[in-house]
A and B are shown apart, each in its own frame.
Chain A
Amino acid sequence: MQRYILSRMVQSLLILLGVLFIVFFMLQLTGDPVSLMVSRNASPEQVERLREEMGFNRPLIIQFGDFIGGALVGDFGMSLRHRQPAMKLILERLPATVELATTALLIALCIGIPLGLLSGSNPGSFWDTLARGAGLVGQTIPNFWLALILIVVFSVELGWFPTFGRRTWEVFGMELPTKSVILPAFSLGLFTTGQLVRFTRSAVLEIKNEDYVRTAYSKGLKDNQIYLRHILRNASIPLISIVGVQFGYLLSGSIYIETIFSWPGIGNLLAEAIGNRDFALVQAIAFFASLVVVTLNLLTDIAYGLADPRIRYGD
């Protein structure tokens, strides 16, 4: 097990190193990163000054060394627009994104798994049709469009939820979510819900035919005992990896949902940074999002290894 964890950690570190490389050299795609950052009517002197200020006049390899050195201690330079360290801006926005992602995941889990289970256990039934429809719809409705429709229906027409913004409820210094999170979380979680329905359904269909399930039936166990103790339990092992990967993506900040609902999270910060051509901030966000995804993938793999001995000893 230790060897497995160690090798996965080394892999993750290599991936993060690759990410730093990509994030740094992406700005060089156009040849001159400074021209990306200034407005079109900037004078040549202004461009030159910025080039010097940002250190873009130094050899590329030195810039890269500097960038890596900074990244290792969490320093991605200053945001041009905010005149503040990029990492600080990201960490300020983190709680809002975590709240949104966690709620979205909870919604997806609460709908996706029961629906998948019902559908897989009664193929061809009403629940099955419903679940397959929901799975398909969840994967084909763009969340940015769903968000707009939900706003029109539930905020504008019915007035049940605020149209935008994040409101929190402060209890003993803790910020608790209010109903302002419902619409964004539902739109964001839709895709994950569809994935979970489809995945749970096919896992249940597969496990139902296993020998140990037949044994359980022949022992005379009741349906719900078999579903909870044998089928769901075994299906949950591969589900861990789906949930882990999906949570990583939810946490990496949803640029659409946060922009539409003016949700003060990392996705919104990214949209702003792109609008302001604030590329130091964009670089930092891209790295941060990758860090979150890679870390969650690592944790997922470790959990997977703990849950399933075949993985541990396999490689």
Chain B
Amino acid sequence: MQIRKNASKFTVFLFILLFLCGCWDQKEVEELAYVIAVGIDKAEDHENRVKISYLIANPEAGSTAEGGGSQEPPREIISFEADDFISSKNLANTVITKHVTYDLLRMIIVSEDFARDENFIRWIYDATKSMEIRRDIRLLVSKEDTATFLQNNKPVLETRPHEYFEKILDIGNEIGTTPPSELNTFFRITEADADLFLGIYGTTEKGEKKESDGDPDEITAGEFKYEGETNTTQFVGSAVFKEGKMIDTLTIEETRLSYLLNPTLKPGFFLGTFPDPFDDKYRIVTRIEANGPLKFDMKLNGGNKPSIHVKIPLLLEVMSNHSMTDYPKDAKKRKKLKESLKEDITRKFEDFVKKTQEEYKTEPFGWSLIARKQFGTIKAWENFDWMKTYPGMKIEVSVQLKLGKFGRQSDLPRLEEVRD
């Protein structure tokens, strides 16, 4: 009896909920234009206006439930000048037939030009005001105007825009070519005023390839050369933000290093190459992954110069052997390889840390979060002033390298024997 009573009461409650699901805020899926990405650029003439671009997805395109086989394209793009990206929703409706909504917004794209502007932060904070925008969307920086970027971006296979962006950014995250770059993190880091934020950096225009010593990972957006019938968009490396303003870009390699040095991120498997210690002509392909958490030894409060010691445990698998060295039988050669790799990797870490100290004056690794544990009160921490102290710190990086597998087939024939 009691149960039936309760159940009927619960039904009444549920029934009352029906009233709350609509009335004025009722929205029909069919009558909405879903903005997947918002692009923000500087307006050409007005300093206090911005140019907004919308990438609107067509929910009908590409779905299996497609009834009459409509020939509509999967997306729609519109760019115009507005005061901000909130009021722009109404302006867009002078052209777009359906009601513009940010319900499914997945990313905000900013042109590099605008991201480097002092006033960028004023506009990006609009995202916290709008009700529909979620905090876990991503922040992208495009080398060119976002309008050009969105128009040039024509994925060949994943034509539905939300699917395309989700897939390519996820894969970039996994292999370390682009940082995770959540808007929530951007706000947090900007407000905490200690670390650097890394945003995803992408372009659709091919730039000049930098002359480098041939390491294919030392590239950033626009520097990757490829041919074929595919999309022109590439997401390579990261955009560095300091105090809510973009200051520089990082290459793929630097982005990966900051993944490995960041205790708050989970690095995936990174493929990379290092010079072969047995033959200068070749490079060894390796797969690197973190082998356990980073270990920190921070001495910040003592009278001496503050110092940080980071131990980075890495597991490295050797995937190629172009010099055809006899690793399985010869322990000495393996040792030499390990030493050489360790030296190379440590040098890379050290160089990068040095770069952050000298050029950026602070780090993108989230180390300030670890440092905070050494302070009892917020006041003490703020007096310490991480951004001021970081450039002068003594930082040591030591790599604990563990050699893993040597590929599926570990042994190779001796070249001398083959060419006999």
Asked if A and B bind, the verdict is no
